[in-house]
């Protein structure tokens, strides 16, 4: 069958559009479903938080001089462990997850402010240069005890 030149052009445009469309869809599916987990976004089974390391033993641990790791579990309505303490000048790598609903993690007087979602591990690091008692609180409404959901980190 002989096609007119114009018809051939239109046909090739149609085919190109289809190819572009498929590439776009493919790229979107790839970026949504197959992105490797970044360092700041780990997943965890929210029903097994208390059995999954390191959240089976929430604690502040020293990694090296002036460098600590704080593993915390947020729950309705509090944080485990209850109190944290580090020397002045320490850098603390916080690893936080939730064992129930969405909570917040804000350290008053710092720029630390993150959302804690069940099934996700949220990471943030902060260097505490000034001594004091820093209030950590939940800034996501999580139920009747929301406003009492807080803990402290003592820097001295
Ligand atoms: Cu937890 Cu509000």
Is residue 66 scored above 80 in pLDDT? yes
The stretch 119-127 carries a mean pLDDT of 96
31 and 107 inside one domain: no
The stretch 75-101 carries a mean pLDDT of 96
13 and 81 inside one domain: no
Q: Angle at CA 57, nearest 5°, toward 80 and 127?
A: 65
Query: Distances in Å between the alpha carbon of 99 and those of 6, 47, 123, 127, 153?
Result: 63, 7, 16, 26, 21
Measured from the Cα of 146, ligand 1's closest atom is 2
What is the tens place of the pLDDT at every residue in 128-140? Answer: 999 999 999 999 9
Q: What confidence category does residue 83 fall into, taking pLDDT thresholds of 50, 70 and 90? A: confident
- Measured in Å, residue 129 CA sits from the centre of ligand 1 at 27
In a domain, 40, yes or no: no
Number of compact structural domains in the chain: 2
pTM: 0.73
Residue 153 in contact with residue 134, Cβ under 8 Å? Answer: yes
CA dist., res. 3 & res. 21, Å (int): 25
Domain residues for the domain of 93 are 46-155
Nearest CA, atom 1, ligand 1: 103
Q: Distance between alpha carbon 34 and the CA centroid of its chain, in Å?
A: 18
What is the tens place of the pLDDT at every residue in 30-48? Answer: 666 554 444 456 899 999 9
The complex's ipTM works out to 0.99
Contacts of 97 (CB under 8 A, 6+ apart): 44, 46, 49, 55, 72, 73, 74, 116, 118, 119, 120, 121, 122
What does the pLDDT read at residue 38? 45
């Amino acid at each position: 069958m002989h096609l007119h030149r114009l018809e051939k052009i239109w046909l090739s445009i149609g085919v190109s559009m289809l190819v572009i469309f498929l590439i776009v869809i493919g790229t979107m599916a790839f970026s949504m479903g197959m992105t490797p987990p970044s360092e700041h976004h780990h997943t965890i089974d929210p029903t097994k938080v208390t059995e999954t390391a390191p959240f089976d033993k929430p604690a502040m641990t020293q990694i090296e001089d002036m460098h600590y790791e704080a593993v915390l579990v947020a729950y309705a309505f509090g944080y485990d462990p209850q109190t944290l303490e580090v020397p002045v000048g320490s850098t603390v790598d916080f690893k936080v997850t939730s064992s129930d609903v969405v909570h917040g993690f804000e350290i008053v007087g710092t720029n630390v402010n993150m959302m804690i979602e069940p099934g996700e591990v949220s990471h943030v690091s902060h260097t505490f240069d000034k001594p004091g008692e820093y209030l950590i609180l939940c800034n996501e409404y999580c139920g009747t005890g929301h406003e009492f959901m807080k803990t402290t980190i003592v820097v001295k």
